[in-house]
Amino acid sequence: MTDITIRGAGVFGLSIAWACVQRGARVRIVDPHGPGAGSSGGIVGALAPHVPENWNPKKAFQLDSLLMAEDFWRTVATVGGVDPGYARTGRLQPVADDPALALARRRAGTAKDLWADHARWEIVTAQDTAWAPVSPSGWLIRDTLSAHMHPRRACAALVAALAAHNVWVEPEAPQDMPTLWATGVTGLHDLSAGRPRPAGTGVKGQAALLEHDARGQPQVFAGGVHIIPHLDGTTAIGSTSERDFTAPHTTDAGLDAVIDAARAAVPALRDAKIIHRWAGMRPRARSRAPMLGAWPGRPGHFIANGGFKIGFGMAPKVAEVMANLALDGHDTIPDGFRVEDSF
């Protein structure tokens, strides 16, 4: 007997299962490919906020989730005994020129209002250190809200925590209700069947892992590239966002460009050895926000999809909201996140 079946063992499915288990629910998780088999098995793991301006429900939701993350992942690690690699070490971004500096300073003011005492967005002088990114203006943006984690380790940590509650990922199980579908790109295709336009699509991403130990340093965002100093002593860089491609799981020259951009941004990486190249498909909803809620026309079925590039950052809050809905019938989904918003 189960209270809810969750299909899909990516970060959304596993996090929602964890939230349900913590409420005492009997949970079954089903994924024929195993945990973290899709885009949640990537290597980057940047938990970075939207810029603090033009505030909207999506940005507020993300802020809540980023602030929940430390306690969420600490509990997961404590229960399961597996470290997800979470660290809130902030982020550095180079400032290109005087107009960019003026914009960054305005955002520092709005961050005080929107982030309150939770985090800071500040302008600092570029420092001559091994990890500092190159800054044409001599200035850097530093925020203290950004965090990072290792996606594969995070999925493993959730699996271990769930196992401590006698919940495992099963390859198959009979259909039952209620069922929550967190099935990524495949789920977007299923949702789109028979509708005049697709609910979303898969977007290819490519990333690389370098042999460079910068643990404890802030992550860097420069030249459109995320540079993540993982706690295991490796550094991840990524990623591309490709709508047109022929080989969804194969790396190519697109990743070479990302690697070149990272090396140019952070000189410490210029001679770092590439130890892994990754490519995969990330689910992007038409609305560009996560798709949450009941599956239209299918009573007893729920959807959590569309994590795209912010799935790990959104996961703690998505888990809370979907557990509210699926277990208690309590709808706390914000505007713009509903499944219907992507049709």
**pLDDT-derived band of residue 175, with 50, 70 and 90 as boundaries?**
confident
- Residue range 17-26, pLDDT digits in tens: 999 999 999 9
How confident is the model over 171-200, as a mean pLDDT? Answer: 93
Report if residue 63 sits inside a domain.
Answer: yes
Report if residue 80 sits inside a domain.
Answer: yes
**pLDDT-derived band of residue 98, with 50, 70 and 90 as boundaries?**
very high
Report if residue 336 sits inside a domain.
Answer: yes
Q: Is the pTM of this model over 0.85?
A: yes
Task: Name the domain count of the chain.
Answer: 1
- Residue range 223-252, pLDDT digits in tens: 999 999 999 999 999 999 999 999 999 999
Report if residue 131 sits inside a domain.
Answer: no
Contacts of 176 (CB under 8 A, 6+ apart): 2, 5
Report if residue 114 sits inside a domain.
Answer: no
Domain of residue 26 covers: 4-85+148-199+286-342
Report if residue 105 sits inside a domain.
Answer: no
Report if residue 191 sits inside a domain.
Answer: yes
According to the model, what pLDDT value does residue 335 have? Answer: 87
According to the model, what pLDDT value does residue 127 have? Answer: 82
Judge contact between 200 and 188, C-beta under 8 A: yes
According to the model, what pLDDT value does residue 176 have? Answer: 86
Six token digits for residue 10: 């990516």
Contacts of 161 (CB under 8 A, 6+ apart): 18, 75, 76, 77, 79, 80, 82
Report if residue 78 sits inside a domain.
Answer: yes
Instruction: Find the CATH number of the domain harbouring 50.
Output: 3.50.50.60
Beta bridge partners of 121: 143
- Residue range 259-315, pLDDT digits in tens: 999 999 999 999 999 999 999 999 999 999 999 999 999 999 999 999 999 999 999
- Residue range 71-84, pLDDT digits in tens: 999 999 999 999 99
Report the phi/psi class of residue 166: left, alpha or beta, with left for phi > 0 and alpha for psi in -120 to 50.
left
